[in-house]
Amino acid sequence: METSKAPTIHDVAQLARVSLSTVSRVLNDYEAVNPQTRERVETAIKKLNYEKSKSDTVKPGRKKKTVGLIIPDIVDPFYPLLIKGIEQVAKIHGYHLILCDSENDISMEEQHIDNLYERGVDGVILIPSPETTSVENLVKSGLPFVFLNRFLEMEGASYVVSDNEEGAYQAIKYLLKLGHRQIVHLSGPQAFSTEKSRITGCKRALAEEGLQCEKDLYIEGNYGLEDAYAQIKALLQKNVSFTAIFAANDMMAFGAKQALKEHGLNIPDDISLVGYDDICFSSVIALTTVAQPSYEMGRNAMVLLIDFIEGRVSSPQQIVLRPSMIIRESCQRH
């Protein structure tokens, strides 16, 4: 008569849909596991009648001069220069980079963090989802990490960002100087730190001219070209009056431009258009935009992370780099 094989940590991880290191942390009553994940693991342990074995326990590895980078969208043209800055500093200091795409999904972001922890990385650079809980686990684990491009408002956070408030302020101020008063703000998701800052910058520039952000002229989008196209098409169908658009990124500006073109409106003769980021394609359509110092942001984030890993820095650091307006041919005086 055959006896059934005793369940292993691998069986628990598979049933709970988590990494081996996550199961190990639950088994060792380690705090850096979020409650929902812990509950899934404990349920799987009970279901399988699993008993802890020393040989099955997974321990975090020693330093390997390897860091993880978690970005929200690997095909977004804003990120190549950011990654290049990180990679060049990593190469100089002998570090290897593991690139992960979270697709702006909280559960995938958590899975990447678990996997990177399991692989024994020395630190993480993270562009976080706004409602993520996985960062709390990073804090509790003691693994060095740095927010990049956007950040979460939490005690002890270190980050490298561009001054988004100043960038948006410059963009709106430029349009106001050209005589525009009815300016559409085609925003990204309000939950992101980048957009919170840009909304503040827009309001500050308008307030200096005794103006307010009109509800009909504020549109919250998702940073995508197709979304921006649909949003501007819908706005045009409502016959809302406007003379300029400030888009949250250049991809949204491209989408807005296409919607305007199909409606018989030309840039800049009929509508002025300002983007954000200054990605590589923006000069092709002569788009006026706010350039983020993405390469320098990447370099600074990697230098800061290495300083944390190698013990040169221990207190939280916040690095804010200044953006700049790139004036091309997509705007004219109203």
pLDDT, one tens digit per residue, over 49-60 is 888 764 444 444
- Is 90 exceeded by the pLDDT of residue 245? yes
Average pLDDT over residues 91-102: 96
Closest CA to 88 of 299, 231, 334: 299
Closest CA to 244 of 212, 283, 280, 288: 288
DSSP 8-state code for residue 61: P
Give the pLDDT of residue 163: 98
Give the pLDDT of residue 21: 64
- Is 90 exceeded by the pLDDT of residue 298? yes
Helix 35-48 vs helix 20-27: crossing angle, to nearest 10: 90
Average pLDDT over residues 153-182: 95
**Which pair of structure tokens corresponds to residue 105?**
């999904």
**Strands, sheet with 218-220, edge to edge from the N-terminal-most edge strand:** 218-220, 183-187, 244-247, 272-277, 288-291, 324-326
Name the one residue in this structure whose structure tokens are 């807005």.
256
Average pLDDT over residues 194-213: 95
Give the pLDDT of residue 12: 86
Query: pLDDT tens across 125-161, in order?
Result: 999 988 777 777 777 667 899 999 999 888 888 999 9
pLDDT band for position 1 (cuts 50, 70, 90): very low
Euclidean distance between CA atoms 32 and 292, whole angstroms: 34
Euclidean distance between CA atoms 294 and 194, whole angstroms: 14
CA 199 vs. chain centroid, Å, equals 17
Mean per-residue pLDDT over the chain, rounded: 89
Give the pLDDT of residue 58: 47
- Residues 207, 293, 113, 107: is their CA dihedral positive or negative? positive
- Is 50 exceeded by the pLDDT of residue 119? yes
Closest CA to 168 of 196, 143, 147: 196
pLDDT band for position 118 (cuts 50, 70, 90): confident
| Nearest-5° Cα angle at 13, 11 to 17 | 120
Euclidean distance between CA atoms 273 and 257, whole angstroms: 8
Residue pair 123/147 in contact (Cβ under 8 Å)? The answer is no
- Residues 184, 186, 191, 196: is their CA dihedral positive or negative? negative
Domains of the chain with bracketed CATH:
9-56 (1.10.260.40), 66-162+294-323 (3.40.50.2300), 164-292 (3.40.50.2300)
Average pLDDT over residues 231-235: 97
E-assigned strands of the chain? 66-71, 96-101, 123-126, 145-148, 159-162, 183-187, 218-220, 244-247, 272-277, 288-291, 318-321, 324-326
Highest mean pLDDT among 25-34, 113-122, 262-271: 262-271
Average pLDDT over residues 239-244: 95
Closest CA to 167 of 181, 151, 149: 149
Q: What b-and-e string marks burial along 126-159, b requiring 16 or more CB atoms within 10 Å of the CB?
A: bbbbbebebbebbeebebbbbbbbbbbeeeebbb
